[in-house]
Amino acid sequence: LLVDLDVVEKNIQKMAEYCKARGINLRPHAKIYKAAPVFAWKQIQAGAVGITVAKLSEAEVLAGGGIKDILIANQVVGERKIRRLVNLACYTDIKVAVDNLDNVRQIAQMAVEIDTTVGVLVEVNIGNNRCGVEPEGMTLEFVRQILGLKGIKFRGLMGYDGHLAFHEDQDERFRLSTECYRRLVATRDVLLNAGIDVEIVTGGGTNTYRSAGQVKGLTELQLGTYIFNDTTYFDAGLQEFGCALSVLCTVISRPQRPGAENEAILDIGRKGISTIYGFPRVKSLQGEIYSMPQEHSRLRILDPQVNLKVGDQVELWVGDANGTVNFYDSLYAMRGDRVEGVWDLPGRGKIT
Amino acid sequence: LLVDLDVVEKNIQKMAEYCKARGINLRPHAKIYKAAPVFAWKQIQAGAVGITVAKLSEAEVLAGGGIKDILIANQVVGERKIRRLVNLACYTDIKVAVDNLDNVRQIAQMAVEIDTTVGVLVEVNIGNNRCGVEPEGMTLEFVRQILGLKGIKFRGLMGYDGHLAFHEDQDERFRLSTECYRRLVATRDVLLNAGIDVEIVTGGGTNTYRSAGQVKGLTELQLGTYIFNDTTYFDAGLQEFGCALSVLCTVISRPQRPGAENEAILDIGRKGISTIYGFPRVKSLQGEIYSMPQEHSRLRILDPQVNLKVGDQVELWVGDANGTVNFYDSLYAMRGDRVEGVWDLPGRGKIT
């Protein structure tokens, strides 16, 4: 797995500048790079206020890497995990999403036991229909029930419009996403009108950052994929961010059967490249991947000038950065043709 | 990730007995369990003659685990990997698939340099159209060119009918697969008629073991998935093997929006369960997974008696054992409800 550092740094800079110009905080999502602190620090250096993660185990990795402000944009449930969560809160400004009263009470109780406080953001369902309390009145009622608890501190609201990420009509995506985040801000207004302070209103995803970014009242964006981008996001309208991730494969066979003159077999299959959005695209030559079992890829060479030999290398663009990074324990950080480093992905496999 | 040891042991026993009754050797494929020696040893204890792997890196794991007879059913190319291969051959009976003359010459030369010998099996394309030399005359010509080389020893032929694995008509699958392996045996006959000794004729996959197993002249079967099975193979006609792999998820949210009374959100998504054959099936209750982003699963509960709370656990059958095992560094070996061990999957991520 290769990452183009020049592209990464441009992507980080571009999003940092966008947020600065909009006057909105940026809290990049580290799930895309499986919580590798090296990328988080690059984002913070460019102005990010903190980091978002999907899982408690990723938060632990980042806290261990020195990140001091972490949002777990997900529910942390059960005694064993909450114990880990409150421990983390002793040395990191940790915020966790909540949408269930028993869960909040358990967090509060276990935090009190070790004399710490955990920040909580109430997740509001703004249309994604996954986790989250229903907006406005239901959220107000929920917040009222947790406001008095010791051991937790209500920090604000979170919402996500993941159901719109790949909406094909970009104008419609913008309109619907704007509506979603207005609903989140309307919910904040209900709380404000009830005299409840709401410090953070957070949401957004790379594919709707332009809509989320212009909704007044949202205080921060939690964007992930933009740092690497991938061909799927690129094709879905994210052309302002370069694709940074590729996989370097080796030709292991040149079939000699009649009709297969332009075919080559590569040594990496679905166990090393996520295909949930389709086959990867060929970067290093004119060609296409037309079949991928678990351990191999079948390549059709489209440029008659190219004569690949067994042992030659072929570079493939990653079509699903999120899923592909999760296959690798480390990646090669490239500066042009030079390897600048081999960087650990310490959160790989931390899926709960 | 959980594995049901009673089911695994029954599956191992059943396939061992099948092969014994047919008088054919069994060389189970370790890619399904990412070369964890504990499973390989169970298979060898039940009578397997050796182990098959997909990648050199998996062979290294098994050799380190004490397995003495390993087939790399794939091409190993390039100087760096061949150096590792010939080192492995110094202390293990290693056999590697070949289909390219330059590659064989390089293996031979590097083996001679350190005074060892690598066994080679010529891969024959019997219809899968991936790697492999074309059958009969082309293979004879290829074998003649490598027979005299020092540093390698020609051990026989390999073929695979992976293109038929999920052929929907089971009778047709049987017929076509039988044809494929007859082509492999016909190629052996061409070599025998030319006075060339062919010790091993190897092939097969779990989904065509019944056809491959009854082709006279095949000396061994290299079957993988049968040890765990999964719902996809089970549905495709492999009902004689029990499904052994499941993933234990936790309910992290019970949405309260109208109409979602029977829905629950689980904490594991596509980063922990391979969905290349569709969503996983629910094992522990009547329900269905109807959506899976990277970090979550959406569950619809179909039994009105079930009232899941946040923190409750839900067990999902694995639909793609091969891809799912590759997400985990270890698995829980279950004997009924007891954890008998937490076993490493040391080949996880070894994809080249």
Task: Report if residue B234 sits inside a domain.
Answer: no
Q: Give how far Cα B53 sits from Cα of B12, B94, B303, B340, Å.
A: 17, 11, 42, 26
pLDDT at residue A316, rounded to an integer? 98
Give 3-state DSSP helix, strand, coil % of chain B, rounded to 5.
Answer: 35, 25, 40
Indicate whether A59 and A172 sit together in one domain. yes
Do residues B133 and B277 both lie within one domain? no
Interface size A-B, in CB pairs within 8 Å, comes to 158
The nearest alpha carbon in chain A to B258 belongs to A134
| Structure tokens belonging to residue A300 | 């059709």
Query: Shortest CB distance from B296 goes to which of A130, A269, A328?
Result: A130
Return d(Cα A299, Cα A296) in angstroms, integer.
Answer: 10
* Alpha carbon distance A8, A229 (integer Å): 9
**Are A270 and B294 within 8 A, CB to CB?**
no
Asked if B248 reaches chain A (Cβ–Cβ under 8 Å), the answer is: no
Chain A contact set for B274 (CB, 8 A): 270
Q: How far is Cα B76 from Cα B56, in angstroms, rounded to an integer?
A: 7
CA distances from B210 to B18, B127, B128 (A): 9, 18, 18
Helix (H, G, I), strand (E, B) or coil at B272: coil
Nearest by CB to B295, which of A31, A252, A272? A31
Which residue in this structure is represented by tokens 């020609």?
B154
Q: Are residues B72 and B149 in the same domain?
A: yes
Total number of residues shown for chain B = 352
Return the pLDDT at A240.
97
pLDDT along chain A (352 residues), means of 10: 98 98 98 98 98 98 97 98 98 97 98 98 97 98 97 98 93 97 98 98 96 97 98 96 98 95 97 97 97 97 95 98 98 97 97 94
Give a yes or no: residue A331 inside a domain: no
In this structure, the answer to whether residues A145 and A294 fall within a common structural domain is no
Nearest Cα residue in chain B from A290:
B130
Q: Final residue of a domain: which of B185, B201, B228?
A: B228
pLDDT tens digit sequence for B229-280: 999 999 999 999 999 999 999 999 999 999 999 999 999 999 999 999 999 9
Contact A260 B329 (CB under 8 A): no
Interface contact B77-A162, CB threshold 8 A? no
B295 to A268: CB separation less than 8 angstroms, yes or no: no
Same domain, A212 and A292: no
Q: Identify whether A90 is part of a domain.
A: yes
Tens-place pLDDT, residues B14-63: 999 999 999 999 999 999 999 999 999 999 999 999 999 999 999 999 99
CA dist B11 and A252 (Å) reads 33
**What are the angstrom distances between the C-alpha of B312 and each of A62, B272, B287?**
28, 18, 14
> According to the model, what pLDDT value does residue B136 have?
98
pLDDT tens, B320-332? Answer: 999 999 999 999 9
User: Residue A131: helix, strand or coil by DSSP?
Assistant: coil
- Which candidate from A100, A298, A311 shows the least CB-CB separation from B77? A311
The CA distance from B176 to B184, in Å, is: 13
Residue B332 lies in a domain: no
Cβ count within 10 A of residue B342: 9
Q: Could you tell me if residue A326 is inside a domain?
A: no
Looking at the fold, whether A220 and A250 belong to one and the same domain comes out as no
pLDDT value at residue A311: 97
Is residue B88 in a domain? yes
Q: How far is B76 from chain A (nearest CA, A)?
A: 7
Residues A193 and A292 in one domain: no
Q: How many Cα atoms are found within 13 Å in the side-chain-facing hemisphere of B68?
A: 2
Among the partner-chain residues A77, A270, A295, the one whose CB lies closest to the CB of B250 is A77
User: What are the tokens at A93?
Assistant: 């400004």
- The whole-angstrom separation of Cα A164 and Cα A97 is 21
In B76-95, the residues whose Cβ lies within 8 Å of chain A are 76-78
Contact B103 A295 (CB under 8 A): no
A145/B contact by beta carbon, under 8 A: no
Closest by CA position to B344, among listed B120, B147, B64: B64
Q: Which residue has the tokens 């619809």?
A: B300
What is the tally of structural domains in chain B? 2
Strands in B69-72's sheet, in edge-to-edge order, are: B25-26, B220-221, B200-203, B152-159, B118-123, B93-98, B69-72, B51-53
Handedness of CA B6, B7, B12, B17 (dihedral sign): positive
The reply to whether B155 and B280 lie within a common domain is: no
| Local confidence band at B297 (pLDDT 50, 70, 90 cut-offs) | very high
B272, part of any domain: yes
What's residue A17's pLDDT? Answer: 98
Instruction: Find the residue in A nearest to B77 (Cα).
Output: A311
Cβ–Cβ contact B183 with A under 8 A: no
Q: How far apart are CA A284 and CA A250, in angstroms?
A: 12
Note the pLDDT of residue B152: 98
What Rg value do the Cα atoms of chain B yield, rounded? 22
B352 vs A103: CB contact, 8 Å cut-off?
Answer: no
Closest residue to B252, CB basis, from A77, A129, A351: A77
For residue B276, the enclosing domain spans 245-317
Amino acid letter for position A272: G
Task: State the Cα angle at B245 between B241 and B250, rounded to 5°.
Answer: 150
* CB half-sphere exposure, A283, CA atoms < 13 A: 19
Mean pLDDT, chain B, rounded, equals 97
Tokens of B252: 């992290």
Q: In this structure, what CATH number is given to the domain that contains residue B261?
A: 2.40.37.20
At which of B193, B228, B263 does a domain end?
Answer: B228
| pLDDT number for residue B131 | 97
**Do A196 and A258 lie in a common domain?**
no
- B220: domain CATH number is 3.20.20.10
A307: number of Cβ within 10 Å? 9
pLDDT for position B172: 96
Question: Are the C-beta atoms of residues A283 and A316 closer than 8 Å to each other?
Answer: yes
Q: Are residues A212 and A279 in the same domain?
A: no
Task: Indicate the pLDDT class of residue B222, thresholds 50, 70 and 90.
Answer: very high
> Are B61 and B163 in a shared domain?
yes
Query: Is residue B346 domain-resident?
Result: no
To 5 degrees, how large is the angle CA A107–CA A26–CA A139?
Answer: 45
Are A214 and A249 contained in the same domain? no
- A278 vs B: CB within 8 A: no
